[in-house]
Amino acid sequence: MEAIKLNKLVDEELQQHHEKVAELSFLISKEMQLDNNVCNKIYAAALEHDLGKIFLNQEVLNKPRKLNKKEYEYIKNHVLLSVSYLNSKKTDIDTVKYVLYHHENYDGTGYPVGLKGSKIPLGARILRIADTFAALTVDRVYRKKLSIKKALSIMDSEKKFYDLEIYSLFKKIIKNKEVL
């Protein structure tokens, strides 16, 4: 697999996103008192979860408007592309699973499989929350970054997508710590 040549900005944005999600996921994992080994696997997954995006058409990926249905379906491919890439590097199987399921929703409406509730690996449920928050609180081509308050209010309105125990813990962390 060969990644298309990226411009520096795309590369930097992706890296910054990965680092932010890794930082937030690690805070959650620690707060949940997960085993160190598990925390590290979640951290590793967060650092590479969207890597598949570098194999996608960058014009579609960075379209400054809302994606149409076909484009949205196309972007979904990034998950399996990330997984193929990680498998080709012989990445730890749990780490790969967290990446594979990072867009699954707790109510079963996510992708690529539509797993529901506790069937979604814990690491992926953590990533789902950290990923959304990180994406909302950064400048994007189609909008300015949202305040923490606004981001959390959007996430509150989509609560059904998240593991509520993890989500309420996450909100406590955000409110108690200066993480941004």
Q: Which residues bind Fe ion (CB under 5 A)?
A: 50
Instruction: Output the smallest distance, CB 105 to Fe ion, in A.
Output: 13
Instruction: Output the smallest distance, CB 78 to Fe ion, in A.
Output: 6
35-42: Cβ within 8 A, 24+ apart: 38/94, 38/122, 38/123, 41/92, 41/94, 41/95, 41/98, 41/123, 42/98, 42/123, 42/126, 42/127
- Taking the least distance from each CB to Fe ion, the nearer of 48 and 50 is 50
- Taking the least distance from each CB to Fe ion, the nearer of 41 and 102 is 102
- Taking the least distance from each CB to Fe ion, the nearer of 41 and 103 is 103
Instruction: Output the smallest distance, CB 112 to Fe ion, in A.
Output: 11
Of 5, 53, 66, 76, which one is the catalytic site residue? 53
Q: Is 41 a catalytic residue?
A: no
Instruction: Output the smallest distance, CB 33 to Fe ion, in A.
Output: 27
CB-nearest residue to Fe ion: 50
- Taking the least distance from each CB to Fe ion, the nearer of 12 and 177 is 12
Enzyme catalytic residues: 53
